[in-house]
Amino acid sequence: MNTHSTRLSLVLKGTLAAAALALSSSVASAAGDAAAGAAIFKSKCVVCHKADASGGVHFGATESADLRAPELEKQYKETDALLMRAMLDGKDEDGQDLAKIMPRWRGKLTDADAANVIAFLKTEMKN
């Protein structure tokens, strides 16, 4: 192999390695951090959804949702974006407003925080 093709090969390998690292980082952040999500869930969500995420707490005619997997994922059409919208904007799987008792967390939690809570619910809170 000549010097030019050796350099080109090294550049390509380096570029591919950097791209793979960037992709794995973005996939990891999109998936969320379950441990960080557990801390957020315990500080923000337990009051209404219980420590086991089973919900069922009554607020007049409104009852807090069961957030355990896999039912939660089925309800939200297997889409983390819909779960995130429910958490941050108070919209159900069809885009309708959730009960007013559900806090709208946008501005208080980041998208990354919401992804972390979703990761926690999906990995730790099984029904």
pLDDT digit string, tens, across residues 89-127: 999 888 999 999 999 999 999 999 999 999 999 988 877
Cα 1 from Cα 91, distance rounded (Å): 60
**3-state DSSP assignment of residue 49:** helix
Using pLDDT thresholds of 50, 70 and 90, give the confidence band for residue 19: very low
Nearest Cα neighbor of 55 from 47, 73, 96 is: 47
Among 2-6, 17-21, 60-64, 93-97, name the one with the lowest average pLDDT.
17-21
Among 18-22, 67-71, 74-78, 85-89, name the one with the lowest average pLDDT.
18-22
| Residues 41 and 127 sit within 8 Å (Cβ to Cβ) | no
Q: Which two tokens stand for residue 56?
A: 């069922």
CA–chain centroid gap for 114, Å, is 5
pTM of the full structure: 0.72
Q: Express each pLDDT in 28-71 by its tens digit.
A: 345 799 999 999 999 999 999 999 999 999 999 999 999 988 88
Q: What is the pLDDT of residue 119?
A: 94
Provide the terminal-to-terminal Cα distance of the chain, rounded to the nearest Å. 59
Q: 50 or 19: which carries more pLDDT confidence? A: 50
Q: CB count, 10 Å around CB of 52?
A: 13
Q: What is the DSSP letter of 97?
A: B
